Amino acid sequence: MFFKQKQKDYQLDQNNIPKHIAFIMDGNGRWAKKRKLPRTYGHHEGTKTIRTLALEANKLGVKAMSLYAFSTENFKRDAKEVEYIFKLPKEFFNLYFDELMKNNVQIRYIGHLELAPKETQMIIQDAVKKSSENTGLILCFAFIYGGRDEILNTTKLMCEQYKAGVITLDELTEDYFEKHLMTGDLPPVDLMVRSSGEYRLSNFFLWQLAYAEFVFDETLWPDYDEECLHRAIAIYQGRERRFGGVLK
Ligand code: FPP
């Protein structure tokens, strides 16, 4: 007989739950390769992790969870893999949308969704629309997103606003700029987690991560679970955040 090993119980401080957690979901391909399965199967398994973490983060009172689902650079991958990833939103929302709605989760996306196939666009937009009144966790998919692209586009917008006399140079503050990023109405990112033992940002949230705490976990994304999330939050809670100040 097999018994599921008891999960490690991390004592989390309910008064210090990160408001916004950003995930770089990595390791789907390696997870599949280890099992001699096609890479796409790893992506399929990876969507289950999204459901698990969204429900758990919602329970813990996290306000927003952002997921790096497809980068502007991911178009360099094999066309068949890209095609498969673009089908994942349909699979994901078919399986889990009702449950996420019941749990009051609000779906959002950031990125160049207009570059995705029409059907993918419609599926994501529909989920966003139907869940827009929900007041629980904001589950934000960064889909065809790149950090440099976002900063450059926001800079261009600021230039246009300046030229049109909407703002003066003095009014162009960090706060003002930040509000015009794609994440403008989300809370600041407190914690960034990357799975699979890679130590890079890969062009994700270059502005937003300025003061975030980083946790790098060896677990491959399809195996990342509630226990890993609790561990990441426990590590976050053990850190002293100084925001450029000095130790108290
Ligand atoms: C990284 O693993 C994962 C991705 C590039 C894609 C993950 C995308 C999803 C799970 C899509 C979810 C989207 C929605 C809207 C449900 P990798 O392929 O880089 O893994 P490797 O480094 O092991 O090769």
> Cα(176)–Cα(192) distance, rounded to whole angstroms?
23
State how far the Cα of 148 lies from the Cα of 97, in Å rounded to an integer: 31
Q: Is 65 helix (H, G, I), strand (E, B) or coil?
A: strand
Provide the sign of the torsion angle of the four alpha carbons 56, 59, 65, 69, taken in this order.
Answer: positive
From 52, 80, 88, 199, the mutation candidate for ligand 1 (largest count of ligand atoms within 8 A of CB) is 88
Sheet arrangement for strand 191-194: 106-110, 138-145, 64-71, 20-24, 191-194, 213-216
Average pLDDT, the chain: 95
Determine the pLDDT at residue 242: 79
pLDDT band at 244 (very low <50, low <70, confident <90, very high): confident
78 is a catalytic site residue: no
What is the pLDDT confidence band of residue 7, given thresholds at 50, 70 and 90? low
Amino acid, single-letter form, for residue 13: D
Of these residues, 58, 74, 149, 175, which one is catalytic?
A: 74
124 has a pLDDT exceeding 60: yes
Write the CA distances from 84 to 87, 93, 105, 207, integer angstroms.
Answer: 5, 15, 25, 30
Tell whether the model's pLDDT for residue 246 goes beyond 80. Answer: no
Rounded to an integer, what distance in angstroms lies between the CA atom of residue 117 and that of residue 109?
Answer: 15
Q: What is the per-residue pLDDT for 113?
A: 98
The verdict on the CB of residue 69 being under 6 Å from ligand 1 is: yes
88 within ligand 1 shell (Cβ under 6 A):
yes
Q: What is the DSSP letter of 27?
A: -
Q: Residue 2 pLDDT more than 80? A: no
In terms of C-beta density within 10 A (0-12 exposed, 13-18 middle, 19 or more buried), how is residue 51 classed? Answer: middle
Answer yes or no: is pLDDT of 1 > 70: no
pLDDT band at 248 (very low <50, low <70, confident <90, very high): low
Residues 139, 228: Cα–Cα separation, whole Å: 18
Query: At residue 70, what are phi and psi to the nearest 5 degrees?
Result: -160, 125
| pLDDT tens-digit readout, 72-122 | 999 999 999 999 999 999 999 999 999 999 999 999 999 999 999 999 999
pLDDT above 70: residue 5: no
Evaluated on CA atoms 133, 136, 142, 143, the torsion sign reads negative
User: Does residue 8 carry a pLDDT above 90?
Assistant: no
Q: What is the mean pLDDT of residues 243-248?
A: 76
Domains of the chain plus CATH, in order, are 17-146+188-237 (3.40.1180.10)
User: How many residues appear in the chain?
Assistant: 248
10 Å CB burial of residue 169 (0-12, 13-18, 19+) is exposed
Q: What is the pLDDT of residues 185-226, one digit of tens each?
A: 999 999 999 999 999 999 999 999 999 999 999 999 999 999
Residue 134 annotated among the catalytic residues of the structure: no
pLDDT 10s digits, 33-52: 999 999 999 999 999 999 99
